[in-house]
Structure 1
Amino acid sequence: MHTRWSWTALALSLAVTSGAWAQLEKGSIAPDIEAKVWLNTDGEAISLQDTRGMITVLYFWVSFHEGGKYFFDDLNVFENSQGVAMGVRIIGLTSGEAKRTEPGIKKHKIFFPVGCESKADQDYRVEFWPYMVIVDPEGKVAWSGSPADGSEAVTTIRDILATNPPTRTHPKAAAAARSQLGVARAALQTEDYSGATRAARIALEKAMTGDTLKTHCQEFVDLLEALGRDAILRADRAVSAENWSEAVRQLRFVTRHFRGLDCYRTAKDKLDKLAKDHENVKRELGDIAGSEAAKADIKRARQFVEQRKFGEAYVLLEKVVATYPDSAEADAADALRGRLAGDARVMAEVTDYKAAKDCKEWISSARSYIAARRLTEARALLRRVLDEYPDSSFADEAMTELVRIQ
């Protein structure tokens, strides 16, 4: 983003102008936006009311001039990387017809919303293209001008983030947070405390402070914290009774399942102190301080990540956390695992990797049953793929086979 936006002279040479520049006054209420046709929104119209609480970047261009397309790549990258996390939403606006605009949107792989056949440029006094307006979370104009002035645009966004940060989660981040919160709730119902904690932490990280979604995520994390604190209280009672085995069991339950939460740090500190003060507790814990094998596994996992073998990396990191739950190596493995879990595409590959062995066998057997006209057995195996690995690519393959034999 910074590289292209620093090429001011080039962008100015590309700009189309029809007269003197007439910018909206900084601090004025930004006019609402309208368009006859919206792309990348599932057909739903967008207004600035929908983006209130976020930083909104309006990008105006005309389809007949190449200058407007010059910044597409930068805007797209920013939207899908930093923008989503920071609560910055980009909206494209053009007066061009949708049927003429859509091919270019697909060609340049634009993912942010685009309003076609829009007259918003008149309300924003746009007299040259491409043109950009930054609207703060309160709906006021914070900056407007040529996207060539990239340093000014970036500085404006940074200033808003520092003084008037967004209080509304970007729609893409909100969808991911709600999905992870659903995963966390389902995991808790099956007493998968580790899975619930991991998903809840991801959801909490994606939701923006000040958003009610953040409150819902925090409430769920607080519930997990309460479960961890209950176990710590049981451990404290066991220590008072000098029941070291029970104390260790309760504290290790917390360090295994509530990693990253406050109760995890409390339990880990208590375990360390008990091991230091009581030799029998140290023996109970065993050699958890560090493991060359764990370090080697983490090194291999990092190599897998570099090779983009995310399934192998994730499974190896899970092994380290499960085998050495109270060690520094487990903390390092969990941190790396958390970063991988935050990427939906990576987790789709992880799911496929875990599913591969089972699903390949079931689908192969199902096809053998189909060839033998034993359709009942075939359907049972194909439905098992759908039930146990619904988010894997094998689910699509199983569904295709099911449809074929209906």
Structure 2
Amino acid sequence: MRVIVLGAGVVGVTSAYYLAEAGHEVVLIDRQQGPALETSFANAGEISPGYASPWAAPGIPVKALRWLLMKHAPLILRPRLDMAMMRWILAMLRNCTASRYALNKSRMVRLAEFSRDELIALRGKLGLEYDQRSLGTLQLFRTQKQLDASASDIAVLEQYGVAYELLDRDGCIRAEPGLSASRDRFMGGLRLPGDETGDCHVFTRLLAERLPGKGVDLRFGTRIDALERDGDRVTGIRTDRGVVRGDAYLVALASYSPALLHPLGLRVPIYPVKGYSITLPVADAARAPVSTLLDESYKIAITRLGERIRVGGMAELAGFDPTLHARREATLRHSLSDLFPGAAANDAPSNFWSGLRPMTPDSTPIVGATPLSNLFLNAGHGTLGWTMACGSGRLISAIIDGKSPPIDPDGLGLIRYRP
């Protein structure tokens, strides 16, 4: 079968790999000149199945109002006449109940745990090196209130059998010795030893380099204009280089998926939520993080990637606006310098960056079939595209193949949004 994959971020590239592994003829198309040059380019670098949790949760509406008023705000809302934004916000608020949180969490953890195992297997099989580390993730609590609130998170971790460690100050410093210079800044932490870190862009580029050897036709620098349809089937992809035809079509265009699917009458509730990052060279290894630390107060991840430190986070609702705001960089620098003073070379270029995370209102990605018989979707992973990419790619390959899926796909498809 000839399968056309649209989008060469980490989700699209992993999907193409697993489809080629299954014996299909694959064409991978992207408007950029190479793989992982948008949302997958400079994300926070964490692979955290244990922290695969919906943004929509009980109490979030009240917290969101408080976050908007903070100096170093983890949430930024830029009001605009955008009906897609309003529909997405209202749908997210409807998911802020205990029952929906539990259901969405169960779907996310199922996919994330499977994906981590697939990543480990793929890494070992291909010998990929992408500044990966398997030293866990530490969620750092600056206040006693945050530490006390972790009881609900721990209950969920126990429910799904995720290993964890609840640490006091000294325990946090043992896990991350660089925190010794800021021990008065926090009360304790929650560590998940099974989590990993790594450079998503490097991984995706290395995997993409293997694709031609599996017969995958890479078509970078190709603008995707529209899907052609005849009845309940897609018949081709119109591009600026002509029409590309196949037997099956997979849309993995992250935040840009809804615009491509809307003319076909398919409404996909994915909205771009902008995140920011900076990347600085390590100045003092003894003061730097050894893995990933999550600053709970500012919702920022600080990750060690080889001889670099990646600091990423925040959520900005501003449509497709790519503007880099200096205040966001100041927040990232504040979190890093407050917790790991002297760790980074602050006089070096920060490589300040922003990416559009493709968020669904329930935070669960859409992986599966569509009402059109040969059109499939693998998008909407939000902040967890790197965490869920390999599992999503393996799952969608099986679904397109018509084979028994490697995990239960219930609740992951587009059908969950239909009345």
TM-score by length of 2: 0.20
Select the structure with the greater relative contact order (CA < 8 A; seq sep ≥ 6).
Answer: 2
TM-score by length of 1: 0.21
Asked which structure has the greater CA Rg, the reply is 1
Instruction: Choose between structure 1 and 2: higher helix proportion.
Output: 1
Instruction: Choose between structure 1 and 2: higher strand proportion.
Output: 2
